[in-house]
């Protein structure tokens, strides 16, 4: 049963202390046993490679409580695979998929009372984190690593929930370098986006939409999320070496095909924004965040999509289909959810 002392309907997307986290250390060439901790802190050497040279990667996935009382964890295996790619991208020791699975299932089981009740609109956010913990003064990969998995119940990522927001873009900011770390999930990418993100908020926008870092001609990431658009019954999303492959976007592509849409993953030129019927950001945290307007703050040009107060019909259908699978309301025909009995 979910904890009855929490105001589930008014949760924000922020950290709340839960009962336990789980940890696993790579040392002497092998991963050790999974350990349970009730501490929110990590003892660490002051010269740890994660602190000095950015050897850190993370993931984000969610667990949902269905009407049947069962807890569903969405696309655990795909997160495990991406966790491996991120580790390899910065010379860390990748965690095997089965060890990742063991840790996720354990941390959710230990914190079941924090999985929000069905119908609340909230979920349990699962945050796996890998860090290099060897003492390093010279620039060199660590020999020892720790994976920590914490959980926290969360509400909508954007305060407006599933409502259209306004987005801005500017050529003054790059999220990542061409052929850099944009396609893996490391903290440095997010640190590099903070200045642009705060600028967007100051101007009254939800996020900054980035153009490609090489030519500034193509659409790239949308804040910390992927971008997609709808045009002529086609789901269009950017293809780029500097975009993080979103598991939510991957899932929406499949759902779009299931619903009879064409899927087109390709470079999207900036001027094509004028032709789109619907636009949205997508990711684990927000699922879909519809966009009603994109303002180019360099040129003053604006692009509008559908209604300012209502998501477009296809984006709404995609969102409802994905949420239905996550909550257990719709058949999980692709086997995306791991189910824990209540």
Report the catalytic residues. 185
Beta strands at 262-265 and 278-283: parallel, antiparallel or unpaired: unpaired
Give the CA radius of gyration of the chain: 20
What three-state secondary structure class fits 247?
Answer: helix
The sign of the CA dihedral 102, 130, 208, 247 is negative
Q: How far is CA 72 from the centre of its chain?
A: 17
Q: How far apart are CA 222 and CA 278, in angstroms?
A: 15
Tokens 């269009």 correspond to 236
Residue 334 makes CB contacts below 8 A (sequence gap 6+) with: 254
DSSP 201: H
Confirm if 248 and 256 have CB atoms less than 8 A apart.
Answer: no
Confirm if 56 and 44 have CB atoms less than 8 A apart.
Answer: no
- How many residues can be counted in the chain? 342
Cβ-in-10-Å burial (0-12, 13-18, 19+) of 264 comes to middle
């Amino acid at each position: 049963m979910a904890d009855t002392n929490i105001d589930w309907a008014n949760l924000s997307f922020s950290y709340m202390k839960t009962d336990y986290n789980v940890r696993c250390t790579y040392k002497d060439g092998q991963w050790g046993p999974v350990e349970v901790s009730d501490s929110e802190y990590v003892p660490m050497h002051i010269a740890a490679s994660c602190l000095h040279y950015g050897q850190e990667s993370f993931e984000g996935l969610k667990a949902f409580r269905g009407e049947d009382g069962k807890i569903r964890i969405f696309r655990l295996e795909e997160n495990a695979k991406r966790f491996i790619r991120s580790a390899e991208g910065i010379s860390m020791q990748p965690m095997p998929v089965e060890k990742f699975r063991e840790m996720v299932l354990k941390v959710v089981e230990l914190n079941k009372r924090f999985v929000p009740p069905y119908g609340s609109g909230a979920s349990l956010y699962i945050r796996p984190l890998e860090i290099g913990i060897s003492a390093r003064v010279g620039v060199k990969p660590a020999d020892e690593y720790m994976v920590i998995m914490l959980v926290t119940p969360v509400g909508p990522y954007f305060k407006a929930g599933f409502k259209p927001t306004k987005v801005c873009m500017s050529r003054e900011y790059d999220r990542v370098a061409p052929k850099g770390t944009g396609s893996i999930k490391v903290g440095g990418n997010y640190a590099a986006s903070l200045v642009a993100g705060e600028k967007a908020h100051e101007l009254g926008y939800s996020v900054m939409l980035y153009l490609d870092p090489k030519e500034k001609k193509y659409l790239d990431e949308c804040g910390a999320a992927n971008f997609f658009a709808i045009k002529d019954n086609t789901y269009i999303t950017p293809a780029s070496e500097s975009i993080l492959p979103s598991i939510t976007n991957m899932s929406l592509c499949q759902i779009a095909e299931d619903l009879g849409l064409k899927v087109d993953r390709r470079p999207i030129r900036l001027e094509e924004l004028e032709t789109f019927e619907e636009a949205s950001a997508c990711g684990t945290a927000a699922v879909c965040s519809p966009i009603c307007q994109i303002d180019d703050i360099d040129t003053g040009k604006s692009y509008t999509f559908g209604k300012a107060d209502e998501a477009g019909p296809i984006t709404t259908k995609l969102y409802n289909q994905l949420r239905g699978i996550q909550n257990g309301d719709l058949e999980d025909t692709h086997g995306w959810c791991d189910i824990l009995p209540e």
